[in-house]
Amino acid sequence: MGLLLLLGTFLGLMVAGVPVAFALGIATVAGFLYEGLPLFVAFQRILSGISVFSLLAIPFFIFAGELMLQGGIAARLVRLAAAAVGAVRGGLGLVNVASSMLFGGISGSAVADTSALGSILMPVMKEKGYDPDYSVNVTVTSSLAGVVIPPSHNMILYAVAAGGISVSKLFIAGIVPGILMCLCLGVAAYLVAVKRGYRSETFPGWAFLLTSFVVAIPGLLTAIIIVGGVLSGIMTVTESGAVGAIYAIVVTALVYRELTWEKFRQAVLRAVITTSLVMILVGCASAFAYLLALYRVPELLAAGLTFVSDNPLVILLMLNIILLALGMIMDMAALILICTPIFLPVMISIGVDPIQFGIIMMMNLGLGLCTPPVGACLFVGCVVGGVKIQDAVRTIWPFYTAILVALLLTTYVPAISLTLPNLIE
């Protein structure tokens, strides 16, 4: 009855439109009252959930991403991608994917990627004769690069929820799956462009390509500084995030000279709001997960999955289906914090490495950002592109298929996500 009350209260509040963090908190309080547990324990769990040193990196990553969004880095990355792949048939679709791979790997945010690149590329694609739904679809789905390719603050949440596994290994583990996913999306974008008869752009020449690369180098170095500092052992994740944010200020204000005081103020404000939401969510989810553990939910779920089948391949397939379904109806950060303590023991029991499972979870839940009814990236992309959600979803299936292909390869070929982390051991 206690578990039913906990989950029923949470789902009921979600349906009523209560924000996820508050729904988790209220459901947790209801569970503690039902069990007769002192509420100060819930308060302690909330505080312990956010009193983790690694979480200090999140506000720095978010702030750095906002600075790059406001300071002109995105526009220069788009110019570089256009010079490199724009001459291919339907080249602006590939430019979109390549830009997302570059910018998402720097900002670490799929929603920021959708907003920034969508605002730049969608008007150009419309002017060049691309259908609005195609522009939205390729922009929205390619933004998932920000979730998988490091640095990603969602990976930090997973590392904390998983009991403190190596963030640096998670970062490097996402490189190959992220590139693989972008390659699959590039193929889908190309095939759809050929089918619809979109034309290619003129190659601007090697001199322009080289110039675009040189101009984009200061922005690209942001990701190298953040990820390289962690992998080299010179800096912790938190220190690399702080250095990355400082470097982003220097580049956007002194090198590119596009970061005005008003843009800086907007970056600070948006970073504070986003960080506050994330920390409230982390604290409430930590207390919620305490009750899930009290009710032995991980053990019950493991028993249920193994009852259906004891084949690891089948269990992995069932897990992917469950995560995909959950990703369609809940916020990604909340799901990471709730599902990791539940599913990770099951994965370890069938021999799946926690690092690989982290990447599988990033890709699964990331896809939920592009699916109705609560896909944040889908909503932002449709607003920026001026397209109805139903019109975008009607033609987005080739891009969903591309992401699923990359997901299945990452799931069933462990070397894709584990080779690079194993090399740094």
Q: Tens digit of pLDDT for each residue in 194-253?
A: 888 887 777 778 888 898 888 888 877 877 777 777 777 778 778 887 888 888 888 888
**Plot region of 197 (φ>0 → left; ψ -120 to 50 → alpha; else → beta):** left
Positive or negative: CA dihedral 23, 25, 29, 31: positive
pLDDT of the residue at 107: 57
With the C-alpha atoms ordered 264, 256, 108, 169, is the resulting torsion angle positive or negative? Answer: negative
- Tokens 């069932």, located at residue: 318
| Residue type, position 45, single letter | R
Q: What is the pLDDT of residue 155?
A: 87
For the chain, the first-to-last Cα distance in angstroms comes to 46
Judged against a pLDDT cut of 80, whether residue 346 lies above it is answered with yes
Is the Cα torsion angle 248, 60, 185, 330 positive or negative in sign? negative
374 confidence band (pLDDT: 50, 70, 90): low
pLDDT average, residue stretch 378-406: 86
Percentage of the chain modeled with pLDDT above 90: 12
Residue-level pLDDT at 381: 82
Q: Are 342 and 158 in contact (CB under 8 A)?
A: no
Residue 375 has pLDDT above 90, yes or no: no
Q: Which residues contact 413 (CB under 8 A, 6 or more apart)?
A: none
Say yes or no to pLDDT of 404 above 90. Answer: yes
Domain range summary for the chain, segments of one domain joined by +: 53-282+296-423
Instruction: Give residue 90's identity as a one-letter amino acid code.
Output: G
Dist CA 21 CA 288 (whole Å): 10
Q: How confident is the model at residue 354 (pLDDT cuts 50, 70, 90)?
A: very high
CA distance 112 to 122: 15
Higher pLDDT pick, 349 / 376: 349
Cβ atoms of 352 and 316 closer than 8 Å:
yes
Q: What is the pTM of this model?
A: 0.80
Q: By the 8 A CB rule, do 327 and 365 touch?
A: yes
SS3 159: helix
Alpha carbon distance 196, 137 (integer Å) = 14
pLDDT band at 384 (very low <50, low <70, confident <90, very high): confident
- Please, how many CA atoms are within 13 Å of residue 211, restricted to the half-sphere of its CB? 6
